[in-house]
Structure 1
Amino acid sequence: MAKKKCPECPKGAPKWMTTFSDMTTLLLTFFVLLLSMANFDKVKIEQSFGILAGSSGIMNNPSVTPLSQMNIVSKRSIKDTVSKTEEQVESQIKSMMQAQNMDSMVSVVKTDKGLSVRILDSALFKPGSSELMPQAGPILDKIINIVKDSSYYINIEGHTDDTGSPDLNWRLSSDRALSVISYFVKANFNPVRLSASGYGQYHPILPNITEQNRSMNRRVEINMVTPEFAESGKSSF
């Protein structure tokens, strides 16, 4: 019988792999020798690891503040900051009014939104007009300078008394609010923080039964709205 042929053996790794393996082993042996001959300073190593641990925020016995308490502290801090700003702005505007003898024409009141500066129409406009008079400039300039660097949003409202046509009163109050807002924009006040509203005769602060009351109702209100209130969606912003 004929002998069966022996199947071919599978080819091994390339010959260069043997040389590469030898070289790798020699390099490993060389670095192990270097490591064994090195002299380590244990104190410096411990100090270095200590510095790394501190910079990574690793602390002994770290304290954890509940999220609910963090929110309370944050809201309280914001409220305190806004309150201080209101007091400062209110004080500055009142000082300006006294310096210009305008206590009877301009008043400052606190609202649930922030602060409101009420200016009688006779300090800004001629009767029945929405064009600002020259003497209105210094008043508005003072207010702009006081609130320009604050975080307030500004909503400007126009109001009339109940004399004349309601439609005309709507238009007059809106046009007056827009005249004031245009003045703010020309003074480089950020337009994103501005809005205007016209309410005609429908938001009086006094009953329209005497001429003196009507003169108080004909006004422009510059409402300084806190960012917290503006972003809550409760205001015009």
Structure 2
Amino acid sequence: MTNFKTAAALAACIVMTGCSTNPQTGNFEINRTGVGLTAGAIGGALVGAAVGNGSTAIKGALIGAGVGGGLGYLWDKRYRAMQADLAKTDLQVEAAHIQNGDQVLVVTAPSDVFFRVGSSDIAPEAYPALHKFAQTVKGQGYKIGITGHTDTSGSPDLNDKLSYERARSVAAYLTADGVPYQALYVRGAGSREPKADNNTPANRSINRRVEIVLSAPNTKA
């Protein structure tokens, strides 16, 4: 409990130092120092450690997607609301099931939009979308699994590191923007879970992404 209180105090302090609201745009922004400090402050027990299969980050577990694929009324309502909230952003929303049959929402951040090439620093133009997402999920009680993915360019070690650091940067941003850090789980999948083959530049672009899986608090990991 002491660690949680300490992390909360540090995160609150970081909001005052590494983060700010841009007076011209009204968007919440976090600089590179803020991301690093936030990730470090809530590190080991929270966003700092990859949790693998223990999280709701899907790890190849998506079964079906989209409205009409067996979604219940509540999840259909959540899906449509999320789509509406994020319609003017580059975030992509899918409704899906995971292997145990539980329903989830999958929000995808294309890495080519949200990050510079080879970097885990969030691009400033991605702040409005992430801020909108943070405002949308606050108070909803979701468990949030964040997984970074790369294409097959580069070495496996480099891809593992980059995918994890990108997921952690997204988690750090969301935490600094007020999403409860206790709800967040992160992992890096490297290039092991592609959505398309890596034979063309277009497909490699599809595979470079961060996926945010939203599940109900009682979802079984």
Calculate the TM-score normalised by the size of structure 2. Answer: 0.62
Equivalences for residues 1-237 of structure 1 within 5 A: 83-100=72-89, 102=90, 106-112=92-98, 113=102, 114-229=104-219, 232=220, 235=221
Q: Secondary structure at the match of 1:118?
A: strand
Q: How big is the shift at 1:93?
A: 2.7
**RCO higher in structure (CA 8 A, sep ≥6):** 2
Structure 1 stretch displaced more, 192-201 or 86-95: 86-95
Aligned to 1:43: none
Q: How big is the shift at 1:108?
A: 2.1
Whole-Å separation in 2 of the counterparts to 1:183 and 1:201: 23
Let me know the Cα RMSD of the aligned residues.
1.8
More strand as a share of residues: 2
Percent of aligned positions with the same letter in both sequences? 33
For residues 79-114 of structure 1, what are the alpha-carbon distances to aligned partners after superposition, in whole Å with 9 as ceiling and x for unaligned? xxx9444223321332244334x4xx6242313241
Calculate the TM-score normalised by the size of structure 1. Answer: 0.58
Structure index of larger Rg: 1
For residues 168-217 of structure 1, what are the alpha-carbon distances to aligned partners after superposition, in whole Å with 9 as ceiling and x for unaligned? 00000000000000001101211111110100000001111111111000
How many residues in Structure 1 have an aligned counterpart in Structure 2? 147
Q: How big is the shift at 1:130?
A: 0.2
More helix as a share of residues: 1
For residues 134-189 of structure 1, what are the alpha-carbon distances to aligned partners after superposition, in whole Å with 9 as ceiling and x for unaligned? 11111111111111121210010000000111100000000000000000110121
